[in-house]
Structures are given as C-alpha cells and as structure tokens.
Structure 1
Amino acid sequence: MPLEHSPRPLWLTFDCYGTLIQWDEGLRAAVDRILDAKGDHQVDRETLISVYDHHEHALEQTPPHRSFRTMAGLGLQLALKELGLSASPDDAAILTDSIGAMPPFPEVLGTLNQLKQQGYKLCIVSNTDDDVIAGNVAQLGGHIDRVITAQQAGAYKPDRRLFDHAHAQLGVSLDQVVHICASPHLDHAAARDIGFRCVWIDRGTGRQLLADYTPDATLSTLDGVPELFKSLGW
C-alpha cells in the first residue's frame, strides 16, 4: 500500500537496532573487546561480525525457538570456532550485556517526541528478549508506548509471526500502521509478505534492498519522518 493517498496510521512500529539504537557501532565495540581478549590472532573485526551474523540468523530460523541470549551466544561460539579461535562464556556475556547500553542515534529522541506530539502511538518490534531491550528503551525518553519482542511472539524476523503477533497485540489492521526500519533482510521481507507500509531508514551502512521489494519511502535519518508525514497530509 503506497503512502500517498493512504490513511493516516494510528500506530508507528519501529525496528530498534540500527533504526533507533546505534547497533553497528555498539556491535563493533563489543567484538573488539572479544577479539582483544583472544591474544595473538589474524581474525579481523568485520570478518567475525559477518560470520557471526550468518550463524545467528540461521539459528533464529531453526526450531525450536530459543532466547536471543542463547542464539547470540551460540552464534558467536560457532563463528569463533569456524575462524579458529577459542570460545568462552565470557564472550557471549560481553556481547549481550553490551546491547542494552547501546545508545540511540543523535536525532532519535527529538524525532520520537515530535511524532508523539503529532498524535502517533509508538511501538518497537524487535528480534530480542525483553530483558535485553529494556536498557535501550530506558534511553528513549519515555516516548515508546509498547515493546513487542521475539521472546513474546516465539518467532524472529523475517518470520511474519512476529509482526502478526505485534499487529494482533496492538489491535491494528494493515492500514492503521506504518513500519519504520533499517534492515532490508529482516523487516522488508516481512513487509513484502504481509503488505504493511514501510519506511526505510538508509543510514549508508551498505545494506542492500531486496531484489523483489521496494519500501514506500526512503530517508537517510529518522528526523525526516515527521516532515514526510506532514507532506502526506497526516
């Protein structure tokens, strides 16, 4: 459903990490700490992140459903072993404990405040556990009305069950919600399959659009959202 000539949404849903919270920056810092503790080796940060992402995303789509802490720890363990490095329980703790401390992007608090002033209700839909995301939500100025997690839904993006659960919990139809996100692989796939409206925040990280999906709007930072919505007559 294109944004033009479509109804004003009641709810705005947001991906958290990479959209509201500085995920890439925080992940790099955590991986640097993990690698520094391994001593002398030839593994670089970006290689470990790439291999970790591969394992973690595969695990999330492999039954049975397990907590994000479990998935992240196991994914990191598999990545380290694949790259010839030893793995310890401390590695997973460094990674998962750092997530809740990751801060919002500079424009996020002001933008969320604007959107609240414009009358929207705001919900996060995230591939994480309730306790992991709590530290991030606490940094968002009290602007978030609901938080829906993979833990609550028993499913991880891009599985549509997470969004189906979120929409059911919010009591919204597809024309009453717009999703705002940074991840083509996870969120755009669900938007394509379910048909909800979607705004992509392309922060120049190199993430590529899916071959068979184009978001309804693309912005470089979150602070373009209020003006976009005003231009639509919302």
Structure 2
Amino acid sequence: MLSGTPRPSWITFDCYGTLIQWDEGLRIAVATILAGKPEAIDSEQLIATYDRHEHALEQAPPHRSFRAIAGEALGLALRELGVEVGEADARILTDAIGRMPPFPEVVGTLAALKQSDFKLCIISNTDDDIIAGNVAQLGGHIDRVITAEQAGAYKPSRRIFEVAHAALGIEPDAVVHICASPHLDLVTTRELGLRDVWIDRGTGRTPADGYQPHAVLTNLAGVPKLFGDAGWR
C-alpha cells in the first residue's frame, strides 16, 4: 500500500511495455523480418527465443550496447530455429524499437503527473540513441532518462537504479517506480525496498516468488487517482 508513505519527489518508469508498446511493436518488426524469409516459422516462437537470448546476453560480461545485444540475440534466435540471418535483420529490429509508440493513455497520464508537480524519469535497458525516438513521442513530459548505456548495467541489476538515484540526487524513499516488467523491475524494487506500482497489462508475466508490489493497475490511466488516494496532492 502507498497510503501513509511520504510523497515522492520523483516517479521513475520502465519504458518498454510500461510507456511504450513493446510487445505490439516487436510483433510488427518480427513480421517484417520474416516476410523476407523463405522459411515458415511461428513469429511468437521467434519472439520467445529472441527474448531468452537477449536477457541472457544482457547479464553476460562484458557490458555491451543494447544495439549489439539485440542484433546478436536475433541472429542466435533465427539460427536456432533454422532460419538464415540476413544483413538487414538486426537493423530492422533496432530501428523499429525507436519508432514504437506509447500506449494510448500514457501521454495524458504523464501530463497529469507533471501538473501535480511530480518529476518524471525513465530507467530503461536500452541505448541513448534508441530510446530518443520513443521519448520524443511522450509530449515533452519526461525530465530525465537513465539507460543501461549510461549505467553500464542492465536490469535486474540494482546498479542501474543506483545510478539513476545518484543522478537525480535522491534517496530511495523519495521515489516510486512504475513498471510492467515483473521479471526485471520488480526483482530489483523488491531487493532495494522501493515503493512500486506494477502495470499488469495482461501479458501473463507475473512477479517472482509471489511478490506483491505496493499497487497493481491494468494501465497507466489509474496512476493519478492512486496517488491522490495516497494523499499525494
């Protein structure tokens, strides 16, 4: 529960899947890639295989750019499924990520939070140049963006959160983190004892070990009321 806890000065957000339509955009990118292949494979199987390789590569030293990891993960996934890798495949994927749009309610919700004098920061497992295209679609409401490129670490490492809090000049009790990613973000908010709001968009992903975040919403539109009910006006 958030009621009875101090009003945060900063709200931090995961980006992809929380603010930006990741699953939807990834399906479009994968369909484009597969349209040029003679092999017939299931796009959802490719996405699941890509996702597994991507997360494994993010945790393998040394730290590398998300662009490099995404390209390698895609190549590994295609080869695993018996599909030839094309020279343009990785570029199609990474270029598509920066064009992925926000969910319909996101820009209006961010505007409402700014009007209530909250400062807004994104913490994301990506590169600065990739996320720039997504942030440009968020109505100018985001105050700071902290990426894995800046932190030299990917979630669920606590380092990316610690780098963000240091950059914002705040202690953990001055922030609430909002995310749709239980297997990355909620792992770390639990470890750090951060207040968290899980946006459960019905993907089937669930928090590990029965963890219960401080609040659960189906989309971002309910955040201003949630905060109002907590007394943060």
CA distance in 2 between counterparts of 1:126 and 1:152 reads: 10
1:71 paired to 2:69: yes
CA distance in 1, matches of 2:55, 2:27: 18
Code of the residue aligned with 1:131 in structure 2: it is D
1:29 and 1:219 mapped to 2: Cα distance? 26
Q: Secondary structure in 2 aligned to 1:185?
A: coil
Query: Are 2:97 and 2:130, in contact at CA under 8 Å, matched by a contact in 1?
Result: yes
For 1:82, the aligned partner's letter is E
Query: Post-superposition shift, 1:42?
Result: 3.2
Show structure 1 runs of 4+ deviating over 2 A: none
Match of 1:4?
A: 3
Cα displacement string for residues 46-94 of structure 1 (whole angstroms, at most 9, x for unaligned residues): 0000000000000000000000000000000000010001112311000
> 2:17 matched to 1:18?
yes
Q: What is aligned with 2:204?
A: 206
Partner of 2:144: 146
Q: Deviations over 1:87-133 (max 9, x none)?
A: 12311000000011111111011100000000100000000000000
Alpha-carbon shift at residue 212 of structure 1 (Å): 4.4
For the residues of structure 2 that align with 1:175 and 1:4, how far apart are their CA atoms? Answer: 14
- Equivalent in the alignment of 1:232: 230
Counterpart position of 1:215: 213
TM (norm. structure 2) is 0.98
User: Which residue identity lines up with residue 140 of structure 1 in the other structure?
Assistant: L
Alpha-carbon separation, structure 1, partners of 2:102 and 2:223: 16
What is the count of residue pairs matched by the alignment?
232
User: How many Å apart are 1:14 and its aligned residue?
Assistant: 0.3
User: Which consecutive residues of structure 2, in runs of 5 or more, have no partner in the other structure?
Assistant: none
Percent identity over paired residues: 67
Correspondences of 1:152-167 after superposition (within 5 Å):
152-167=150-165
Are the counterparts in 1 of residues 3 and 231 from structure 2 also a CA contact under 8 Å? no
Pairs within 5 Å for 1:94-109: 94-109=92-107
TM-score, normalised via structure 1 length: 0.98
